[in-house]
Structure 1
Amino acid sequence: MHLNETDFGDAVPVEGYGPGFFRIGGQVHEGPVLTGMGGTRPWLGLEEEAPLLALAGHIDVLFVGTGAEIAHIPAPLRKALEEAGIGVEVMASPAACRTYNVLVSEGRRVALALLPV
């Protein structure tokens, strides 16, 4: 078997997560976070839509991790993101992390908004 190291380019993968935290690019971030090509930053959660809308034109898809279980995001938030041209995929945070890592490794224009598990 031959293993190849994954090249994430300028993006930083999610390396791990646990109760209340995410490890991204070797740093631990507590609470909700937003990550993508522009780096990783704290996020206030589903009520803070401005930084998500600022991604318009820079990404094609935003993965929203809703914690340990999949949950709906507020309809007005989904509508605003879609009207801004951002595709939205909602899933549990562990699945969102895995999906984001795969697509980032392929060079896709994606971002990740995460609520902790």
Structure 2
Amino acid sequence: MRLNEVTYSDAVPVDGYGEGFFRIGGEVHQGAVLTCAKGTSAWGGYGDAEALLSLAEDVDVLFIGTGAEVAHIPADLRRSLEGAGIGVETMNSPAACRTYNVLLSEGRRIALAALPV
């Protein structure tokens, strides 16, 4: 088996998550988070569309982690994001974190907005 060390250029990966928190780049963040190459910050959830729309020039795809279970995001939020040219992929937060890390290691222009499990 061949193992390769993964390196991240701009953004930092999600190191872990648990009940109510995410560990990103070695730092623990309580509650919902938004992370991308610009950094990591608290996210206000589905009602905080402005934080997500501010990423329009910097990301191609936004992964939205919906918590422990897969859920639909509000239709108006999806329309706003897609109207701004941001691709939207929703999945449960654990899957969103894993997918974000894989694509981040490939140097993709992505962001993650995730609700805690």
Q: Do both share a fold (TM > 0.5)?
A: yes
1:89 correspondence with 2:103: no
**SS of aligned partner of 2:79:** helix
Distance 2:102 2:18 in 1: 20
Residues 60-108 of structure 1 show CA distances to partners (whole Å, capped at 9, x for unaligned) of: 0000000000000000000000000000000000000000000000000
Pairwise CA distance, 1:3: 2.1
**SS of aligned partner of 2:46:** coil
2:13 alignment partner in structure 1: 13
1:104 alignment partner in structure 2: 104
Residues 22-81 of structure 1 show CA distances to partners (whole Å, capped at 9, x for unaligned) of: 000000000000001000000111110001000002100000000000000000000000
Runs of at least 5 residues in structure 1 that lack an aligned partner in the other structure: none
2:60 alignment partner in structure 1: 60
Runs of at least 5 residues in structure 2 that lack an aligned partner in the other structure: none
Distance 1:12 1:6 in 2: 11
- The one-letter code sitting in structure 2 at the alignment partner of 1:19 is E
1:48 correspondence with 2:51: no
- The one-letter code sitting in structure 2 at the alignment partner of 1:114 is A
- Taking only the aligned residue pairs, the percentage that are identical comes to 68
Count of aligned pairs: 117
2:28 alignment partner in structure 1: 28
- The one-letter code sitting in structure 1 at the alignment partner of 2:98 is R
2:71 alignment partner in structure 1: 71
